[in-house]
């Protein structure tokens, strides 16, 4: 089943985000390569493609997991969690309709 994972950045965490980004992307690449990633990306903190020093308000990942418990475990092991980037993470089931 698909699950949406939303990570919400804390305040002033851009440096931590940038430092942990290679490890974060490696995990997403593994999901993609396994055919389990629908989409993933950050949410700019301002209305701009490149928010610069304003940074990001969080990230969204939609991926396939065996269960909600597995999706939560994957989210809890994210390098952004370990680096203190995300102040909270929400995981819930997702049903793809379009496209």
User: Do 43 and 56 form a contact (C-beta atoms < 8 A)?
Assistant: yes
Q: Under CATH, which number does the domain 7-93 receive?
A: 3.30.70.1060
pLDDT (tens digit, 9 = 90+) per residue, 36-77? 999 999 999 999 999 999 999 999 999 999 999 999 999 999
What is the per-residue pLDDT for 58? Answer: 98
What is the per-residue pLDDT for 47? Answer: 98
Sheet with 37-44, strands from edge to edge, namely 37-44, 56-64, 2-9, 86-94
Share of the chain above pLDDT 70, in %: 100
**Residue 14 pLDDT class (50, 70, 90 cuts):** very high
Question: How many angstroms separate the CA atoms of 24 and 97, rounded?
Answer: 27
**Residue 33 pLDDT class (50, 70, 90 cuts):** very high
């Amino acid at each position: 089943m698909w699950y949406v994972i939303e990570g919400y950045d804390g305040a002033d965490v851009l440096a931590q985000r940038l430092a942990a980004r290679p490890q974060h992307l490696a995990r997403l690449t593994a999901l993609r390569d396994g055919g389990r990633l629908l989409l993933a990306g950050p949410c700019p903190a301002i209305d701009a493609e490149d928010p610069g020093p304003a940074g990001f308000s969080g990230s969204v990942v939609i991926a396939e997991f065996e269960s909600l418990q597995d999706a939560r475990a994957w989210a809890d092991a994210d390098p952004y969690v370990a680096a203190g980037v995300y102040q909270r993470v929400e995981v819930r089931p997702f049903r793809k309709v379009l496209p």
